[in-house]
A and B are shown apart, each in its own frame.
Chain A
């Protein structure tokens, strides 16, 4: 197959997956869910008392991003959407239409993965934008445009990377296992928090560690209102973290492709 036909195949796979993802009820569910961080600044402004700690707007945005979008919503999006990419076709019996076609398995997986990444990213983009607006509106001090835009672009980039890596993991689990949701949840909400309690380098075996290495931490000087954006985790290099995440995503997509090529998904019927 030449590269043009390969591209058309990937595009067709992306179109199939993309059109299915946007038509499912769960995308609506996810769309509502990712708007939660946008409501929090309003809730904070409403509930804030005179003696409560005051957080600046950008600090709040970075915090909401880290615990909300990165720590909770991106993995949840991957679990909801990523496990369905191949898993739904296998579970619902539509896999024969795909697997009996003259399409390279890598093109199939690539197309599906790109569709997921596009749909998930486009779901998060307006939500993050709304969160930023909500933060700006309720912020106790005024914020300059340049650092705000830079921060938004930086955090959105890390979120897209998070969606990609977690999505690749969930897609692989959806292909290889019958209960991908359970295994994904155990990894994201069990293994990853647990490793932080273990001393040493165990937490290097998580995706979160490397994502946090890329995440900005915002501190605002209350006197001269200067904004300092640093990185939270300094024992993983920026380049190192990006490379590892990219390689992990690639490897997971590779494993999914390998499984689709070599695993037998059809079973005999009425065999007793």
Chain B
């Protein structure tokens, strides 16, 4: 996969505060999530990618070119900022049309494209009312519309699902997936793990200005050798299950409670095999079996610890 966005030892500091430190990433077609807590440097990275900031050290290229003040590159970017700031007096339609005109489109073209993109984000019936009267979800959608109006190849979204209700969130996720299927590159920055997980499995974990890990969630998890997997078994025969798994290789510990047993191991495959044999052989009833830390939340907690 050829990288669309590439950084090499990218660093950015503001006075004595280092916002990003030696970032090396490559992002290609599809949806990529940039994950990190508040203050991790996600917005700084977004500002660098959109050319609003210059790197203090290192380099950052988009489509093989430098970004800052490069109109050719900026034409291929659509940016949805995190801040909920607008010119509240203008209507949604005016907002999108005028911003479209800034890229050199004629008034006629800008109007046609704006109408199309506003329909796509589902705001056709409210686009002629002032943005000041919009709900939070509508404001997010109009932001998305202004980012899409000039048909960009790369879409950058900073916390796009913040403040949306569950239906709004679902609709936005579906729209982003459609856009990705059309061949666009989409980068989503968020601190809400389950939101990023619902969008993509390709993530970059950013904490305190550094990349902790990048790639598929499962492969990141698999590479965390220092931290054992935790498997929860809910069963009345918890002690029996414990007996069957105690001899499995890589076992770290067993934690019994009223409901069952939590098995900590570095070789989950061996534990699953032992539990399966126990159930098949009979004498053990299993109510529930779950892996507690195969998700992004667990991966993140392990890495940040």
Q: Is A108 an interface position by the 8 A CB rule? A: yes
- Taken residue by residue from 78 to 104, chain B's Cβ proximity to chain A (1 for < 8 Å, 0 otherwise) reads as 010101011101100010001111111
8 Å CB interface, B50-104 against A: 50-54, 69, 71-72, 74-75, 77, 79, 81, 83, 85-87, 89-90, 94, 98-104
Q: Are A96 and B81 in contact, with the CB atoms below 8 A?
A: yes
Q: Is B291 an interface position by the 8 A CB rule? A: no
- Taken residue by residue from 11 to 26, chain A's Cβ proximity to chain B (1 for < 8 Å, 0 otherwise) reads as 1110110011001100
Once the chains are docked, how many angstroms separate the CA of A265 from the CA of B68? 13
Contacts of A108 in B (CB 8 A): 102
Q: Kindly name the residue among B87, B90, B104, B150 whose own CB sees the greatest number of chain A CB atoms within 10 A.
A: B104
Q: Kindly name the residue among A4, A6, A19, A101 whose own CB sees the greatest number of chain B CB atoms within 10 A.
A: A101
Once the chains are docked, how many angstroms separate the CA of A116 from the CA of B86? 20
8 Å CB interface, A93-107 against B: 93-94, 96-105
* Contact partner, A23, options B89, B99, B105, B150, Cβ 8 Å: B89
8 Å CB interface, A75-131 against B: 92-94, 96-105, 108
Once the chains are docked, how many angstroms separate the CA of A20 from the CA of B90? 8
Once the chains are docked, how many angstroms separate the CA of A16 from the CA of B102? 9
Q: Kindly name the residue among A5, A6, A97 whose own CB sees the greatest number of chain B CB atoms within 10 A.
A: A97
Q: How far is the CB of B186 from chain A (nearest CB, A)?
A: 16
8 Å CB interface, B96-126 against A: 98-107, 110
Q: Are A103 and B102 in contact, with the CB atoms below 8 A?
A: yes
Contacts of B83 in A (CB 8 A): 93, 96
Knowing A15-B98, A93-B83 are in contact, say whether A100-B17 is a contact too (CB < 8 A). Answer: no
Q: Are B94 and A19 in contact, with the CB atoms below 8 A?
A: yes
Residue of B nearest to A20 (CB): B87
Stretch at the interface among B3-11, B37-45, B198-206, B234-242: B37-45
Q: Is A271 an interface position by the 8 A CB rule? A: yes
* Contact partner, A102, options B17, B19, B104, Cβ 8 Å: B104
Chain B interface size band reads 35 or more
Q: Are A266 and B53 in contact, with the CB atoms below 8 A?
A: yes
Once the chains are docked, how many angstroms separate the CA of A270 from the CA of B99? 29
Q: Are A264 and B39 in contact, with the CB atoms below 8 A?
A: no
Q: Is A268 an interface position by the 8 A CB rule? A: yes
Contacts of A100 in B (CB 8 A): 50-52, 74, 77, 79
* Contact partner, B102, options A13, A20, A92, Cβ 8 Å: A13
Once the chains are docked, how many angstroms separate the CA of A265 from the CA of B51? 11
26 A-B pairs, CB-CB below 8 angstroms?
A: A4-B104, A5-B104, A8-B107, A9-B102, A12-B98, A12-B100, A13-B102, A16-B98, A19-B94, A19-B98, A92-B85, A93-B83, A96-B83, A97-B99, A100-B79, A101-B74, A102-B71, A103-B71, A264-B52, A266-B47, A266-B53, A268-B12, A268-B14, A268-B17, A270-B38, A271-B14
Binding site for B on A (CB under 8 A): 1, 4-6, 8-9, 11-13, 15-16, 19-20, 23-24, 92-94, 96-105, 108, 261, 264-272
Instruction: Apart from A9-B103, A101-B103, A268-B14, list 18 A-B contacts with CB within 8 A.
Output: A8-B107, A11-B101, A12-B98, A15-B98, A15-B101, A16-B87, A16-B98, A19-B90, A20-B90, A98-B99, A101-B74, A103-B103, A264-B54, A268-B12, A268-B43, A269-B44, A270-B39, A272-B39
Binding site for A on B (CB under 8 A): 12, 14, 17, 19, 38-39, 41, 43-44, 47, 50-54, 69, 71-72, 74-75, 77, 79, 81, 83, 85-87, 89-90, 94, 98-107, 110, 146, 150
